[in-house]
Amino acid sequence: MKKVVQRHIQQSERSLKFVLQAHIVRPPFVPLKCRELLTDYILLAKTRLADLKQPLDGALEEDQDIESRKKMNEQIEDDIQKAVVLYQSSKKIPSSIMEASIFRKPYYVGKFLPVLLKPRALPDIPDLRMKFIDALKQVDKIPSTLYTNYLKACKAHMTGMNAESEP
């Protein structure tokens, strides 16, 4: 009977470790109001894993994270291209973007805008992407500090490119 209880405890401990690692590595989506609770939970889970002398196996997750980030950025870039094409045809910001800025704010601010506002060499005559960005700025869908930082980063990017091309 004692061995059965010990085996059960070991299995419970293993499953606890697995669940805690899963929650830390791939946290569930929670509403913005609950983010603080999730952060506290993750901190407690990390503490519990440390108490159980269980490493997080960070190297494996980092490789998976890099791969998933690349896929996510490619998907976001596709979304941006579709939005720019729709903007070109209608001269209006697509409703999907407006809805995302309201109903999917964490995605819009945390993922969409950083990819949209990736520093690049700005053309002398505004291209379609720049016109789209300006349209978003005009309706206050891009925070002014983010927009200012984008313009500064683009200028720095252009001066860096000019410095590389000069002998």
Exposed/middle/buried for residue 56 (C-beta within 10 Å: 0-12, 13-18, 19+):
middle
Q: What is the pLDDT of residue 5?
A: 63
Asked if 119 and 157 touch (Cβ cutoff 8 Å), the reply is yes
For residue range 53-110, list pLDDT tens digits in order: 776 655 345 555 677 778 888 888 998 999 999 999 999 999 999 998 998 888 888 8
For residue range 4-59, list pLDDT tens digits in order: 666 766 677 777 777 877 777 888 787 888 888 888 888 878 777 777 777 665 53
Stated pTM of the model: 0.57
Distances from the Cα of 93 to the Cαs of 37, 74, 81, 88, 162, in angstroms?
35, 21, 13, 9, 33
